[in-house]
Amino acid sequence: MAAQIIDGKKISSEIKDELKEKVRILKEEKGIEVTLAVILVGEDPASQVYVRNKKRACEYIGIRSLSYELPEDTTQEELLKLIDELNNRKDVDGILVQMPVPEQIDEKTVIDAISPAKDVDGFHPMSVGALCIGERGFVSCTPAGVIQLLKRSNIEISGKECVIVGRSNIVGKPMSMLMLRENATVTVAHSRTADLKAVCKRADIVIAAVGKPKMITADYLKEGATVIDVGINRNPETGKLCGDVDYDGAVNVAGAITPVPGGVGPMTIAMLMNNCYEAALMHNGL
Ligand code: GUN
C-alpha cells in the first residue's frame, strides 16, 4: 500500500490558523497582547532568514514581535544586560536569542540567563528538567512539532516501538522524553550504536535527527513503519535540500513518511508561536 505522506506545511498552517484565532480572542476578550522578543547577534545569513521567518509568523498570527539586531562585536555583557531588561519587562512574554551566537559570547551562559518563564525555545536547563519529570514547562519546538505531526496524522504512539536516531540536546533527547510521555517504548540510537540497521528495523516509528544526508535507507525500515525525518541537509550531489532519510527508497517501505522540505521543518515555527501563546497565558494567570 502506498505510504501516507505527512504534510507538515498543511498541519503547520492549521496550527497557525488555530493560534491566530486564539490570539485574537485573548486580545479582544481580555485585552492581552502576546509579545515575543527576538534577538539576533551578527549577520549570519541563515540566521537572518530564520529570524525573518519567525517575525513573519508572528505578524500572521497577531503576535507582537520586538526585534533586536545587534552588531557582530556585541559583548556578552551587553547581550546579558538586554536579556535582563527583557526578563523584567511585564509586556514581554517570550525571549528568543537566535543561535549560533558569535564566538566571544558563550551560548550556555546566554541560555541560562533567559528566565525559564520566557524560555519559548525550551533550551533552559529548568525547561529541560521540567520535561524530564513531567512538570509544566516549555518544550523544544522541533520535537514538540513531531508529536503534533504524529497526533494530527492519527498515528498511534502508545505502546509502539520508537527508535530515535540522534541524541542532541535540542532534538534527540527532548524527543525521547516526549515519546516516553506518550507511552512509546523508546530507544535512542546514535553514532556508536553497534547495529543501527537492526535497531531501526524493529521500530514502528523511526525519528531521524542525525544530520547525515540520506543515511537511513529503505533497508533500515520495517514494512509499514512511520518515518519522521528531522534532517535538513544539502544533497552533496545536487545541492538541493534533503533529509536524513533516503526518501525515494523509504517511501516504498514506510506506512507513513515526512518529506524534506515540507515535513518537520515548518512545524518548528508553529510550535514556537504556540509556546509564545502559552507564555502569555501563564504570565496572565490563565
Ligand atoms: N538556531 C537554529 N535553530 C534554532 C532554534 O530553534 N532556536 C534558536 N534560538 N536558534 C536556533
Q: What is the mean pLDDT of the segment spanning 171-194? A: 98
Give pLDDT, residue 1.
77
Q: For 27-31, 223-227, 236-240, 266-270, which range has the lowest pLDDT when averaged over its residues?
A: 236-240
Q: What is the mean pLDDT of the segment spanning 163-180? A: 98
Give pLDDT, residue 155.
98
Architecture of domain 32-115: 3-Layer(aba) Sandwich (3.40)
Q: Rounded to an integer, what distance in angstroms lies between the CA atom of residue 12 and that of residue 188?
A: 26
Residues 6+ apart with CB under 8 A from 54: 36, 38, 65, 96, 269, 272
Mean pLDDT (the chain, rounded): 97
Give pLDDT, residue 209.
98
pTM: 0.97
168 alpha carbon – ligand 1 mean position (Å): 13
Mutation test residue for ligand 1: of 114, 121, 274, the one with most atoms within 8 Å of CB: 121
99 alpha carbon – ligand 1 mean position (Å): 5
Per-residue 3-state assignment (H helix, E strand, C coil) for 224-262: CCEEEECCCEECCCCCCEECCECHHHHCCCCCEECCCCC
218 alpha carbon – ligand 1 mean position (Å): 30
The band of 109, judged by pLDDT with boundaries at 50, 70 and 90, is very high
Give pLDDT, residue 199.
98
Minimal-distance CA residue to ligand 1 atom 11: 99
Strand 241-242 relative to strand 233-234, pairing: antiparallel
Tens-digit pLDDT profile for residues 28-81: 999 999 999 999 999 999 999 999 999 999 999 999 999 999 999 999 999 999
The band of 129, judged by pLDDT with boundaries at 50, 70 and 90, is very high
Please state the CATH superfamily assignment of the domain spanning residues 141-265 in this structure. Answer: NAD(P)-binding Rossmann-like Domain (3.40.50.720)
89 alpha carbon – ligand 1 mean position (Å): 23
Which residue numbers are catalytic? 54, 98, 121
Residue ranges per domain, the chain? 32-115, 141-265
Tens-digit pLDDT profile for residues 200-218: 999 999 999 999 999 999 9
Mutation test residue for ligand 1: of 98, 108, 139, the one with most atoms within 8 Å of CB: 98
**Residue 236: is its pLDDT beyond 90?**
no
Tens-digit pLDDT profile for residues 113-122: 999 999 999 9
Give pLDDT, residue 19.
98
Q: Which residues line ligand 1 (CB under 6 A)?
A: 96-99, 121, 141
Tens-digit pLDDT profile for residues 86-98: 999 999 999 999 9
Q: Rounded to an integer, what distance in angstroms lies between the CA atom of residue 229 and that of residue 207?
A: 6
Q: Rounded to an integer, what distance in angstroms lies between the CA atom of residue 91 and that of residue 149?
A: 32
Domains 32-115 and 141-265 share a fold: yes
